[in-house]
Each structure stands twice: as C-alpha cells, then as structure tokens.
Structure 1
Amino acid sequence: MSKTMVEDNDSSTMKILDIDDDTHSMTRTRDGVKYSVHFQWWKRPYKVAALCLGLLCVLLLAGIIGLGVHFTGQHYSPERDQLQTSYNNMTKERDQLQINYSTLTKERDLLQTSFSTLTKERDQLQTSYSTLTKERDQLQTSYSTLTKDRDQLQRETIRLNKKLKGRPCHEGWIKFETSCYFFSTVNKTWEESRMDCIRREAHLVIINNREEQVFINGLNGANKQIWIGLTDTIAEGTWKWVDGTPLTTTYWGDGQPNSWKETEQDCGEFVHRSTDPGDWNDDGCSVEQYCVCEK
C-alpha cells in the first residue's frame, strides 16, 4: 500500500510517502533544501502493544487448542480402545458369519439338489403307482370275469355230472360216480395200453381222489400190477397224467418212484393191496401188463 501526503506553502513543501506496510518515508523541502526521513512502524508504541497483544492471543489460542487436544486424547483414549476392540470383534464376527453363510449356501445347494432328486423319484414312483393301480384294476376286472366264468363252469359241471350219473355205461364197462371204467384182460406195454384206451374213446385211468383209488384197487386182482395214466417221459422226475395235468394227490408206495437199479422206469402202475387202497409204483414202460381205461 502507498500513501502520499504533500504540503505546499511559500517557504516549504512536505511530502509523506508510505513505501509499504513496514517502512514509511517523509520528505520535506524548505528554502530550497530537501530533507528526507525514513522510519519504521514498530517504533510507534501503540503498534507494539497491539502486536504483543496479538501474539498473546495467538499463544493463548494455541495453549487452549493444545490443552483441548491433550484432554480429549486422555478422555477418549479408553473409548477409542474399546471401540477398536469392538471393531475387531465385529470384524471377526463378520468373517465368521461370512464363513457360515458360505457353508449354509453350500448346504442349501446340496439340499436343493437332494430335493430335486427326491422330486424326480417321487414323480417316478407316482407314475409307477398310477401304472400299478391301472394294472391292479385290470387284474381285478379280469379276476371278477374269471370268477364269474368259474362259477358258471362249476354250475355247468354239476349239471353235467348229474346228467352223467344217470347215463349208463357200455357193455363191459363199470360205472363209478360220473365215469365208466374198462379193465383189460390182455397184457400190453404202457404205450400200447394208452393207444388201446384211445381206440375205445377213453384214456388210461386218472385217479383224482381216495374214493377212486379204492375203487380201482377193488377192480384189480390180488397182487397184480396194472397200467394207469401216469408218466414222466417228457421231463424226468416230473410226473403228470396223460391229459397233461400235474399230480395233486399221490399214492406212491414206500420209496417210490425210485427208478430201480437206475433203469428207465418212466411209467406208472397201480399195485393192488388187500389191507389199504393200493399204491403206485414206477416201472419200465416196455413191461406188458393189464390196464384200466376211463371215460
């Protein structure tokens, strides 16, 4: 900042110039002589006092700030440590929660996969159940139909049996229940006997129950063997009647059938017994003996 003061009169001229804020210059000219004086502001007492007061204020403010910082540091240091500890704990908890979250996410994915698998299996089982239910219903329908057919056949069988019981047998045949029986008097092999019965429109006797067994035993003479319609020629050890039906009731003798001496004994014969209803024995099909035909 520059400041100029000029005084003019007849005998003198004065100029005051402010060179800057710190230095001032005063020039005076009198009677042709020029005087120049330079002085500094601090040489002025009131400005020195103001400067000291300002410095004191600055020092006081610095002291107050320092005391405030020191007091604040001492007062908040435990709280800061506590907050730091809490922060560290929360950081650890956050990390642990992150680990738990990752673990739970994996478990959730596994459970989701298991759920999807179980859902597919459930759907497959549901489909199988529906299929089985339909098959069961179809079988139930078939069973009901077969039951009706069976009942009808049973009624028809009863009717025919009543009719057959009243039917007389041909000459030379013996009546028993609903069947007629022919006792041969010529010795033949099992196969020849079977063919002879067929020519008579009959078959080798098929024994279905004890009553029929007792009846055949009574027809046969003492200690005689006769061919019956029993064979295992198709499958060794699997005995069946000549009409293909399996055995339901058997009257094999002790130790029979035995294929005696490992010979081919694939045809069944009836052995007369006087004290019981007779029994069966396996024998070679080429043996010639009597037979009983049934129709």
Structure 2
Amino acid sequence: MTETPHAVSVVGAGTMGHGLAVQVARAGTPVTLIDHRESNLADARERIDDALAFLAEESLLDADVEAVRGRIDETTDVEAGVGDADLVLETVSEDVDVKAEVFDTLADAASDDAVLASNTSGIPITDVGETVPAVADRVVGCHWWNPPYLMPLVEVVRGEATSDETVERTRAFVDSVDRDPIVVERDVPGFVWNRIQFAVLRECMHIVEEGVASLSDVERAVRDGYALRTATVGPFETVDLSGVDLFRDIAAELYPHLADDDEPSPLFDERIEAGRNGVEDGAGFRDYDDPPAAVVRRRNERIAAIRRALGDD
C-alpha cells in the first residue's frame, strides 16, 4: 500500500495556494503555506478564513473550523517550511524561470524522498523536471482546478522523467485529501482539462465572430444546456445514449465546419484594448456591477449547490 503524506507544504500563497491549504487541512493533513512576502501570507489568512466560513455556511465542512485552521501553518522561510514535508506543492506564477528557481531550492531543502509537485496548468512537467535533473524522477504535475476546496478533480501529470512511484504517491495524496485524481500519462500541452476547456472556448468564439448567435446566447447554451447535461454524463456516455452510429454520422458532417484557428480570437484583443480585462475591471466579455469578491462568491455558491445536488460533497 502506498503511504499518504503526513505533512504537506504549499509554496505560493496566492489565488490557488490558500485554497490548496484549505482542502489539505480540511482532509486532516497538516500543511505549511509558504510565500516570500509576509503581506501575501496575511492576505492568504483572510482568504482561508473566508473559505472556511463559506464551506461552513454551505454545510460542506464536516470538521470544526478552528480545528481545520489549526492544521495550517505559514512561513516566509522556504527551507524550513519544506524540510519535513512528504509532498511539496508549488503554485507560483506561470513562468518557467520562476518555477526553476523554486524547484532548485526544493531540490536542496526538501527531504531526499519528498514528492516535488507543480500546480502548473500550462508549463510541461518535463520542462520543470529538466530544471532539476538530479531529482527529475520526483517532479510531477498536480494540477488542481479553482477553487480547490470545491472542484473535485485533480490532474496528476507524468513528465518524461517522472517515476512510477512518484505518480502513484501523488495519486494517493490526491485521494487522501478527498479529491479525485485524473492520471495524465503523456505530458501534452494543456493536459486534459485545459485542452477540453479551450476547444470549447475556441468554438464559442468562432460562433460569435461568425454572427451565428449572440455572446449571451452562446454563454447560456453552454452554461444552461451543455454543461448542465455534462454535469451528470460525460461525452462518451452521451454518445452511447444517443447511439455511436448517429454521432459518427453527425461528426462526419460537422467536423469540417468547426473552428481550427491557430491564433487566439481577435475578441480577446478587442476587450483588452478597451480596458475590459475581466471582473477586476468591472467588465470583460460581460459587464459586472458587483465587486470581484461578490462575483467569485456567486460562482462558488453555484458550484456548491451543484455538488450538493449531485451528492458529491
């Protein structure tokens, strides 16, 4: 039987870091949250408290809030923070040079058998491993979806040098913190989740650009139609329910007409140039009257409601 970690360290206290700490601690495992700035840790403490309060309000927290909070330590000392960890999870900015610096430190400071995992969503795990060749067999992808304390799936990504033992230990860790691992056996760009997400997004952009339907109607078609159904059945089961032969025939007719752009849609640049960069600006593809925190909370409430309805949490 593969042993699960008795202690975990999370390097990076930003958007994902605090959420990772919450989920690990929520599952009963001590976790140390590490960041090079004390101000980032102070922000993370507030976010952790907000996340735990939210989970309690939504009846999604079995343990006592203070007990969970008590399993989370914070430090600005990377070397001390990772020294006793069985698994270190890096979640710093998506810059391979920044990650290389972090992993160089981890290679020296973490124990000789610690798993060194990256939460990157886009940088090849093989590239991360190549920055620390002496320990590349212990480098693995561990890509969580945001927010980690609500989204149930985690991608475990094998780099070219990642050992079977490291993959299995990471898979066991994900399972031990009440999350469902997806093992990505080939280190391809985007792994699984982002390949699917961006394929859908590319087609949505194409439909709007071509004037087939309005942006708001495409949004509704995905959110209230496609996503509602795929919350209960996956794409392959959907095919089975309707008939493999039917979907084969539709695919033959439809595939030649689907978007195959190699470059991002100009709809991105139009928004960026107009200062509509998302909820922080009060506008992106949509307009937002509420502050960013309220928009995020509304999204989280919807996710929590769906998970309760499905009996997943």
Compute the TM-score of the two structures, normalised by the length of structure 2: 0.16
Q: Which has the larger radius of gyration?
A: 1
Compute the TM-score of the two structures, normalised by the length of structure 1: 0.16
